[in-house]
Amino acid sequence: MRSMAGEYQSGPVNWRIVTSLWPFLREFRGRVLLALGLLALAKVAGVLVPLLLKFIVDHFEGTTERPLDVLIAVPLALLLGYGLLRFASVLFGELRDAVFARVAERAMRRVSLSVFEHLHKLDLGFHLSRRTGGLARDIERGTTGIGFLLRFMVFNILPTLFEIALITGILLLAFSPWYALVVLVSVVLYVGFSVVVTEWRNRFVRESNQMDNRANTRAVDSLLNYETVKYFGNEGFEAHQYDRNLASWEAARMKNRLSLAALNSGQALIIAAAITVMMIMAAHQVAEGTMTLGDLVMVNAYMIQLFIPLNFLGFIYREIREALTNIERMFGLLHEPAKVTDKPDAPALALTRGQVRFEAVNYAYDPKRPILKQISFDIPAGQKVAIVGPSGAGKSTLARLLFRFYDVDAGRITVDGQDIREVTQDSLRQAIGVVPQDTVLFNDSIRYNIAYGRPDASDAEIEGVVRMAHLDTFVARLPEGLDTQVGERGLKLSGGEKQRIAIARVLLKNPAILILDEATSSLDSHAERVILDALAEVAQRRTTLAIAHRLSTIVDADEILVLDQGEIVERGTHAQLLEARGAYAALWFHQQRERQEDVR
Ligand SMILES: Nc1ncnc2c1ncn2[C@@H]1O[C@H](COP(=O)(O)OP(=O)(O)OP(=O)(O)O)[C@@H](O)[C@H]1O
Ligand SMILES: [Mg+2]
């Protein structure tokens, strides 16, 4: 199960991924610099606040001997300044976020798009062996990871370091080096502790994510199989399975919570100890008279201010770690090589008449199991070749090779004399229309799905192909007509209706070469007859490769190939094959007998 969050965190983290983000920042160099400037202003303002506080406190300490006017004027200015600085530190922070938002969002958009485009470049084989759900999660997690990393790298880790440096500097300048030393030691202790404990906790986080995913996958799979669950009355079994997963999830969450409590307590202990040590030192000095009361207040304020951002460190460390893994995984997708690619400078297919030729083609999905062996045939321009044969013989595979979903292992396929590997995939696919064996539709309206054949088609053209595919009576009966929603994958339509939509959109595409992979298998014999006539009409001028189980649908083919276990075992016209009295003739008489029995 590749989509599990847990596995994203295992293994070493590749911190170098951070550098791969620079290009996205470079695009907005100005904005990044401005944001960094605002950030510095915000931090400086923030660091000045305790300083002012000290002056205010010190002022009161010495009030008794001062003239009245000074007493009123100075604290007022100080107090106003104090308020302004507080506000400024927040305001600059917000401005910084606003300025930087563009950068992070644009980077996320850029990356999502390039991954999406790349996924469409990858071959069918990649997509068949991959769970689409997991893929979508990979992209989602990766882009969120980039946004997170950019924001927190730039706005949490860096500023915290900056703030620590500033505060240590001030303490160093104002008091004895011991204060700076306590700050540094406690920060190092704190960070070290957080990192170590977070690494240790990671296992529990991972476990609970894994259990969460497992329970989810289980629930989704069970709901997808709703019908199957009912057929076998297995609701109780499903609930039991789900609850078992939930129980492990519960246990994992508990460990997660407890370890978080340990982390938080440890961090709090370090903070408390550091502050106590500082306060003892400061109190001692105040008693000695080498430090004012204001100094003591300032030291305390600095310590509290310093540990607020550090408090999030454990969380941020874990999140960044996870973000890096997710980004790496997404970039891994980008580096996934496409098996079917255009040659550099490949020309477009020069389509003249649409002649198709297979020359001694061999193909195997898995090298250990050859599917097609030495397949050679010709479809002269405008003619129709039919392929029949038992299930699993390799018929659809032939069609996929012509469409170049896969490249042949040996031999070659040409269209109008050009090897299909030498021309661009776009131009080749433009020339070919496919009515696939299983039609899958977009979860949108009937109109949208038909217009997909040629998005710029006019309404009149769409209505034309609706008539040609004999969808008109069906559509007329729908309350919402062409705007009826077809449901996920088209599941709200019957098999025959889906098939007719597939035919309609290919008619709209109007290609020179047609591949019909059992294009009418889901239709009743009457509808099939009518559509075959319509298809025959369109196929008249087109080169057609028709795959069929029902032989009655291909008797008019110019040549019929009988395919068995990847080999052409018989070939000829319908009449010739009947005369030969081979496998085709046997199948034909078998199907004829069945039909007569049906009629009776
Ligand atoms: N992506 C794939 N990876 C591995 N094997 C595959 C893949 N697609 C198909 N096969 C195998 O290749 C063989 C030929 O498949 P193909 O779809 O071409 O058969 P077919 O002749 O169209 O059968 P049917 O009449 O049932 O549609 C089958 O045994 C199938 O299991
Ligand atoms: Mg097939």
Sequential DSSP letters for 125-163: HHHHTS-HHHHHHHHHHHHHHHHHHHHHIIIIIHHHHHH
Supply angle C-alpha 8, 202, 129, rounded to 5. Answer: 15
Name the residue of 127, 375, 396, 438 whose CB sits within 8 Å of the most ligand 1 atoms, as the mutation to test its pocket. Answer: 396
Query: Judging by DSSP bridges, how do beta strands 513-517 and 432-435 pair with one another?
Result: parallel
CA 228 to ligand 1 center in whole angstroms: 25
| pLDDT tens-digit map of 568-584 | 999 999 999 989 888 88
On the question of pLDDT at 510 being above 70, the answer is yes
Ligand 1 atom, smallest distance to 124 CA: 1
DSSP 548: -
What is the band of 473 on the pLDDT scale with cuts at 50, 70, 90?
Answer: confident
- Residue boundaries of the structural domains of the chain: 11-175+322-338, 176-290, 356-438+511-599
Average pLDDT of span 508-525 = 83
Please name the residue whose Cα sits nearest to atom 22 of ligand 1: 396
**pLDDT at residue 74, rounded to an integer:** 62
- The CATH number given to 11-175+322-338 is 1.20.1560.10
Please name the residue whose Cα sits nearest to atom 27 of ligand 1: 391
Domain 356-438+511-599 part of CATH 1.10.3210.10: no
Ligand 2 ion: residues within 5 Å (CB)? 396, 437
What is the band of 561 on the pLDDT scale with cuts at 50, 70, 90?
Answer: very high
Ligand 1 atom, smallest distance to 125 CA: 1
- Check pocket membership of 396 for ligand 1, CB cut-off 6 A: yes
Query: Judging by DSSP bridges, how do beta strands 543-547 and 384-388 pair with one another?
Result: parallel
Per the CB < 8 A criterion, the answer to whether 356 and 413 are in contact is yes
Cβ-based burial of 311 (10 A; exposed 0-12, middle 13-18, buried ≥19): middle
Compute CA distances 549 → 35, 396, 576, 588, whole Å.
Answer: 67, 12, 19, 10
- Check pocket membership of 371 for ligand 1, CB cut-off 6 A: yes
For the stretch 510-537, what's the b/e string if a residue is b when 16 or more beta carbons lie within 10 angstroms of its beta carbon? ebbbbbbbbbbbbbeeebbeebbebbee
Q: How far apart are CA 437 and CA 547, in angstroms?
A: 9
Please name the residue whose Cα sits nearest to atom 4 of ligand 1: 365
What is the band of 179 on the pLDDT scale with cuts at 50, 70, 90?
Answer: confident
**pLDDT at residue 2, rounded to an integer:** 36
Average pLDDT of span 482-501 = 84
Handedness of CA 358, 361, 365, 370 (dihedral sign): positive
Supply angle C-alpha 267, 270, 275, rounded to 5. Answer: 125
Ligand 1 atom, smallest distance to 437 CA: 27
- Check pocket membership of 128 for ligand 1, CB cut-off 6 A: yes
Ligand 1 atom, smallest distance to 563 CA: 21
11-175+322-338 and 356-438+511-599 have identical folds: no
- Check pocket membership of 596 for ligand 1, CB cut-off 6 A: no
On the question of pLDDT at 63 being above 70, the answer is no
CA of 130, nearest ligand number: 1
- Check pocket membership of 129 for ligand 1, CB cut-off 6 A: no
Start-to-end CA distance of the chain, whole Å, equals 53
**pLDDT at residue 7, rounded to an integer:** 40
| pLDDT tens-digit map of 269-292 | 988 898 889 889 888 888 888 888
Whose CA is closest to 514, among 402, 439, 432?
Answer: 432
What is the band of 447 on the pLDDT scale with cuts at 50, 70, 90?
Answer: very high
- Check pocket membership of 561 for ligand 1, CB cut-off 6 A: no
CA 350 to ligand 2 center in whole angstroms: 29
- What residues contact 395, with CB distance under 8 A and at least 6 apart? 387, 388, 389, 517, 547, 563
